Amino acid sequence: MADHGQASFWTQANALLRKNLTYQRKHIWTNVRLVLVPLFLCLLLLSIQLLLEAVMNKVLDMAKCGSKDAPNGDYCPIPNPPLLPPMLHIPEPESRAVKAGLFPYSDLPDLSCRKTKTCPVTMLLTGNNQSLGKALSGTMFGGSFAVNTSDLLPSLADNVLGTTLGAGMDSFRDPGITSGLPIYSIQPQCNANSTWPLSLGKTRTEVKCVQGLCLWRNSSAEINKEIFKGSWRGTPERMTNEIAAAYDLLSTDGKNLDVNIWYNATYYSGGPQNKPLVRVPRLISLVSNAYLKFLKGPGTKILFEFVKEVPKNSTKSNSDIASLFGPLFFTWVVLLLFPVIVTSLVYEKQERLRIIMKMHGLGDGPYWLISYAYFLTISVLYILSLVSFGSVIGLNYFRLNSYSVQFVFYFIYLNLQIAIAFLVSTMFSKVKTVTEKWIIVLELFPGFSLFRGLHEFAQAAFHGNGVKWGDLSESGMDKVFYIMLVEWFVTLTVAYFVDQVLTSGKSPCLFTKKSTTSLPDPSVESQSSDNVLIDMEKADVTHEAETNQREKVELMRIEGSTGHAIVCDNLKKVYPGRDGNPPKIAVRGMYLDVPSGECFGMLGPNGAGKTSFINMMTGLLKPTSGTALVQGWDICKDMNKVYTSMGVCPQHDLLWETLTGREHLLFYGRLKNIKGPALKQAVEESLKSVSLFDGGVADKPAGKYSGGMKRRLSVAISFIGNPKVVYMDEPSTGLDPASRKNLWTVIQRAKQDTAIILTTHSMEEAEFLCDRLGIFVDGGLQCIGNPRELKGRYGGSYVFTMTTSSEHEEIVERLVQNISPNAKKVYHLSGTQKFEIPKQEVMISDLFLMVESAKSKFTVFAWGLADTTLEDVFFKVATSAQASLS
């Protein structure tokens, strides 16, 4: 039996890693499914997008881009925008300025022109030099309308064209042309009904002549007033007198053209940012052309042939659902991992696997390292799959943003998410509570920065350039990175320490729930059936047992204990009073020593404090006062060292369903620092010792084991690595008699070099396995001794039963009294009587003779003689102790 020493950090990590790898290999499909989730989600997104597109096309009756029915250029690409002849905006015929009401300017046309719809279009002019102004206004408008159809646009530029329609949202099409309504040719004079046909591209339209009037005003203030009054709000008669445009030539002379222009922009549709100035250039060209003519003579001209918007990409692909709903959708996709991690962490706690691993020497460091590494690996794979599927499917969201920015962003976020999951999991001990709603509040915080980052990706992808490292600070993304980094670090630290505090037993956890359910189980008393005799004289045993142990322990502590594996020194546990109840004493100052090689059995009713005691010894609870030494290590100070030489067989099997028996033992063996061939050998021996070796049982998943096999595996686990101390909590509960016997043999074989503390409700088990027994009642050991001693001391009597007809009852009683005057009748019911006969008073042969003589005198239906059982002892001690308390 070699001592393997404490496993190093890396040995523990290695053990856990190998176990987890084995475990995850068995759950490979769960992992693959998890990693494939993004694929399904991306496909889902894609199909939603396709569906939506189809529906949208239908709803909007949107024909293919470029066809005649395409409603506008909002979505379609425009690789080659059309050339548009520049036009002036002119007022509708019925609102052009006339001489009427508050608008008495004498040079304006008569109101009568409105009836014939021949009102001229008025422009105003001012400046420092009137003669120059007059000269310019005379050449402002062209002559009669004329085009060369084989050279359309340049020849159109010679004419001054106007429209009453506003420009559209964009500058790709001009409603003035495409609507098919007449275009106006502004000329100094019109002949009646002069119109010309014109085909521009696909539109056929006609050109109408309208007179252009260029009037001089004395100052720009005057023009301002006139334009203001001309809009309909300016006149009480609600008559509009619109001026098409106006120029202030300022100090223009033969060397400089210096001009201000009034133009009306309110007719453009769309918001203020959507007002293309497409109607302004022609106004400028008009005045500069007139100025050139003034300088150089009527033969010169500047041609303004067309305006043309720059080519444009299709906005259709940019309006993809991924980029629009991306942040929300992907936040959700990435957050999906969070509950997976928390649930998995809490599962290990709820199933107490974490604690049992700890009890077998797995430190918190290796546990954290390996679990963290696992979750990080899974998360990274998950994100990689999300990004690569997304890219393959063609979502700009992933393709346009720099992959390295995305990777670093997700990587930091995933670390943060895992850290938060660890923190959250420390607060829950049950999977169920995790899913409750306030956890959502917790996830909001990192989810917030995640959303922010994803939103930036979406915005950048939507605008077509994507996020690059260079523009992080511009968009504020750098802060998101910093926040996540800091938060991750802080959370991880906090989570580690909270976990340390909670699992090192400051607060009651896991096992303790049972023991806090107060007071001894009253059902014990109802079980204490007919023949129990409450023996008040034995009340002093408490003191006796206690004093003996106390003296022994104190002596050992003075000498420096060596031979004893377990020494409890005044170990005490008191639960603080809650809700006004007084504090509950679970273990009242206990002294106990258990040497190596001894199996110490603990009997006692539920709630007596056994579990609290075991929990203190296994490090789940901190003692209120006192301490215990295990192999010389103090359980209050050196619990981690204690764990290296401790084995635990919990009441309920804590096994991984999918791992085989061999894999369990390999894992726990490695935790106990057994390596190489020695490990293999130890596992084989262990499997053989619990009869799990033959028939390939060792390589079957533990989930398929029968109850007995599971128990045996648990026992094997608790003994692997030759621990010096093993605690067994009701090891054979729920087993059939054959399995039980089997298990007992296993335990008995294993105990040679080990101190075992075993709790049980089965007297048979206690008698079979234990070298010494203690009866634990109400927080203390009421008596200690080996089973035979106890029976002799507390049992000391035979139980004699005889059944006759009722009329012979008295004779039977008298016969019994004859051979034993101190016999007590403990039970009596219609002919059946039960007596307790002190052993020292009778010889069994006398009893047999008495029965024979009775049989010869009357009919004896049945009779029986029994020795006291350990059960009787237990009931007596338990009930007497409880009775003396109440």
Ligand X SMILES: *[C@@H]1O[C@H](CO)[C@@H](O)[C@H](O)[C@H]1NC(C)=O
Q: How far is the CB of 174 from ligand X (least distance, A)?
A: 16
Q: How far is the CB of 135 from ligand X (least distance, A)?
A: 6
Nearest residue (CB) to ligand X, 103 versus 800: 103
Give the dihedral sign, CA 347/349/351/356: positive
Q: How far is the CB of 229 from ligand X (least distance, A)?
A: 9
Nearest residue (CB) to ligand X, 242 versus 663: 242
Nearest residue (CB) to ligand X, 274 versus 473: 274
Helix locations, 690-736, DSSP H:
707-719
The per-residue DSSP string of 518-571 comes to -S--THHHHHS-TT----GGGGGHHHHHHHHHHHHHHHHHHH---SEEEEEEEE
Count of H helices and E strands in the chain? 32, 22
Q: What backbone torsions phi and psi does residue 97 show, to the nearest 5 degrees?
A: -65, 135
* CA neighbor of 619 nearest in space, from 632, 631, 634: 634
Distance, in Å, from the CA atom of 599 to the CA atom of 590, rounded to the nearest integer, reads 18
Helix locations, 437-522, DSSP H:
438-462, 472-475, 477-503, 512-515
Nearest residue (CB) to ligand X, 242 versus 348: 242
The one-letter code for the residue type at 631 is: Q
Nearest residue (CB) to ligand X, 251 versus 840: 251
Nearest residue (CB) to ligand X, 3 versus 253: 253
Whether 71 and 60 have beta carbons less than 8 Å apart is answered as yes
Nearest residue (CB) to ligand X, 149 versus 886: 149
Q: How far is the CB of 218 from ligand X (least distance, A)?
A: 4
- For residue 294, the Cα-to-chain-centroid distance in whole angstroms is 79
Distance, in Å, from the CA atom of 210 to the CA atom of 164, rounded to the nearest integer, reads 12
* CA neighbor of 673 nearest in space, from 9, 225, 22: 9
Q: How far is the CB of 266 from ligand X (least distance, A)?
A: 5
Nearest residue (CB) to ligand X, 205 versus 241: 241
Q: How far is the CB of 234 from ligand X (least distance, A)?
A: 8
For residue 464, what are the CA distances in angstroms to 320, 402, 434, 449, 451? 11, 12, 41, 23, 20
Angle among Cα 161, 93, 234 to the nearest 5 degrees reads 115
Quote the radius of gyration of the chain (alpha carbons, Å).
50
Nearest residue (CB) to ligand X, 242 versus 778: 242
For residue 744, what are the CA distances in angstroms to 385, 690, 713, 750, 765? 52, 10, 13, 10, 8
**Tokens representing 579?**
């809700």
Angle among Cα 438, 444, 445 to the nearest 5 degrees reads 120
Q: How far is the CB of 294 from ligand X (least distance, A)?
A: 7
Q: How far is the CB of 257 from ligand X (least distance, A)?
A: 13
**Tokens representing 439?**
């956890």
Q: How far is the CB of 173 from ligand X (least distance, A)?
A: 19
Nearest residue (CB) to ligand X, 156 versus 683: 156
Instruction: Return the DSSP state at 427.
Output: T
Nearest residue (CB) to ligand X, 198 versus 850: 198
Nearest residue (CB) to ligand X, 263 versus 368: 263
Distance, in Å, from the CA atom of 817 to the CA atom of 390, rounded to the nearest integer, reads 96
- For residue 91, the Cα-to-chain-centroid distance in whole angstroms is 64
Give CA torsion, residues 234, 239, 244, 247, to 10 deg.
-40
Whether 630 and 725 have beta carbons less than 8 Å apart is answered as yes
The one-letter code for the residue type at 556 is: M
Please measure the distance between the N-terminal and C-terminal CA atoms of the chain and give it in whole angstroms.
49
* CA neighbor of 332 nearest in space, from 450, 461, 481: 450
Nearest residue (CB) to ligand X, 20 versus 264: 264
Q: Within the chain, what is the greatest distance between any pair of CA atoms?
A: 164
Nearest residue (CB) to ligand X, 215 versus 649: 215
Nearest residue (CB) to ligand X, 207 versus 877: 207
Q: How far is the CB of 321 from ligand X (least distance, A)?
A: 39
Write the CB contacts of 111 (distance below 8 Å, at least 6 apart in sequence): 98, 99, 100
Give the dihedral sign, CA 419/421/426/427: positive
Nearest residue (CB) to ligand X, 10 versus 267: 267
Interacting residue ranges for ligand X, rule: CB under 6 A: 129, 131-132, 135, 148, 150-151, 218, 227, 230-232, 240, 242-243, 253, 264, 266-267
Q: How far is the CB of 390 from ligand X (least distance, A)?
A: 48
Q: How far is the CB of 389 from ligand X (least distance, A)?
A: 53
Q: How far is the CB of 441 from ligand X (least distance, A)?
A: 54
Q: How far is the CB of 171 from ligand X (least distance, A)?
A: 19
Q: How far is the CB of 228 from ligand X (least distance, A)?
A: 7
For residue 438, what are the CA distances in angstroms to 340, 426, 447, 668? 17, 15, 14, 37
**Tokens representing 153?**
């646009």
Q: How far is the CB of 203 from ligand X (least distance, A)?
A: 21
* CA neighbor of 247 nearest in space, from 290, 205, 276: 290
Nearest residue (CB) to ligand X, 253 versus 657: 253
Q: How far is the CB of 181 from ligand X (least distance, A)?
A: 14
Write the CB contacts of 516 (distance below 8 Å, at least 6 apart in sequence): 508, 575, 584
Distance, in Å, from the CA atom of 677 to the CA atom of 699, rounded to the nearest integer, reads 19
The per-residue DSSP string of 260-295 comes to EEE---TT--S-GGG---TTHHHHHHHHHHHHHHHH
